[in-house]
Amino acid sequence: MAATVVPPESVTWRVHIDRSMWVGGVRGLMLQALHPVAMWGVWQNSNFQEDPFGRLQRTADFVGMATFGSPAEIEEQAARVRGIHRSLRILNHDTGRKERLDQPELLLWVHCAEVSSYLEVARRSGLPITDAMADRYLDEQRHTATFVGLHAEDVPGSVREMDEYLNDMRPALRVTEEAAETVRFLLWPTLPENLRFLSPGKPGYFPFGALCYYSLPVWARRMYGVLPEMPQPAVTAALRSFRTALSAVPERLHDFAFARPTRDMLERSRRRLAAEGYDTRNGLYGLRDPRRWPGHALTDA
């Protein structure tokens, strides 16, 4: 399926531009790690042990490109990712056999754990998303799933379908040694090179990692058992506070959380959308406001 540009009018744009995505991304990695074969695939084919935060950043770069990139940029990246997945193998410790990394079952689990986390965290953090919009987001994400080689019709496209899928997957999930280590890494990660300047404030990361952990479904938290339980209303309040605080960070400063190629892509996206008639004076984040779409007269600066 050919790549298409995600418009600011989509629910995908509203969710993926939201600053709650950082919590959703880490939550997604923690959830993904509960699938033994998927976790072994990451462990055996990446430097996740040394750079777990870099894995999150690369995921953010992929999602950013798939959302805000041009069709050519999206297709180039998708082809590269599919090529990498085709070339990699996993040693399944349960069977002792080598398996392909690009098994549809594994790709589907990774996709669903990721997008369900984005949606759940965004809604819980205070992003106004109706039930109909939530269904539309998951339906839109079926197209994104094709970038990694899945068929859109095989991917859950509504909240009900996603809930059923996650529930059906639970018997196949467990905490391997690698999964337990992953959660520990994500609570206290190694920072990638472009974020090393934040190292003095690294102790402040633990509350963020804990927030991601506590946003997991209760059954996932019970499986990990890493941190003592805390009242979920307090977690919801913390998610809302995190989103409010991070939403105040200027877009150009926030962009430094991404690798340089992604920052360049975001700048090209601003220019492309401006040429199409969108008002980008408040950046891509500002395009959540329908008044900044073509055909709407603006009076503010």
Residue 52 is assigned to a structural domain of this protein: yes
Q: What is the domain extent for residue 104? A: 11-194+201-251
CB neighbour class for 92 (10 Å; exposed up to 12, middle 13-18, buried from 19)? middle
Residue 292 is assigned to a structural domain of this protein: no
Residue 297 is assigned to a structural domain of this protein: no
154-163 long-range CB contacts below 8 Å, 24 or more apart? 154/104, 154/108, 155/108, 155/111, 155/112, 156/112, 159/119, 159/131, 159/134, 159/135, 162/112, 162/116, 162/138
The pLDDT tens digits along the chain (301 residues) read 566 778 999 999 999 999 999 999 999 999 999 999 999 998 898 776 666 666 677 788 889 889 999 899 999 988 999 998 899 899 999 999 999 999 999 999 999 999 999 999 999 999 999 999 999 999 999 999 999 999 999 999 999 999 999 999 999 999 999 999 989 888 876 665 655 555 555 566 789 999 999 999 999 999 999 999 999 999 999 999 999 999 999 999 999 888 888 899 999 999 999 999 999 999 999 998 899 999 764 444 3
Spatial distance between the Cα atoms of 10 and 210, rounded to a whole number of angstroms: 31
- 170 DSSP 8-state letter: G
- Count how many domains the chain has: 1
Spatial distance between the Cα atoms of 50 and 189, rounded to a whole number of angstroms: 9
Residue 293 is assigned to a structural domain of this protein: no
Residue 261 is assigned to a structural domain of this protein: no
| First vs last C-alpha separation in the chain | 40
Neighbours of 278 (CB within 10 A): 19
In a 3-state reduction of DSSP, which class is residue 210?
helix
Residue 272 is assigned to a structural domain of this protein: no
The model's pTM is 0.91
Residue 267 is assigned to a structural domain of this protein: no
Spatial distance between the Cα atoms of 264 and 271, rounded to a whole number of angstroms: 11
Residue 36 is assigned to a structural domain of this protein: yes
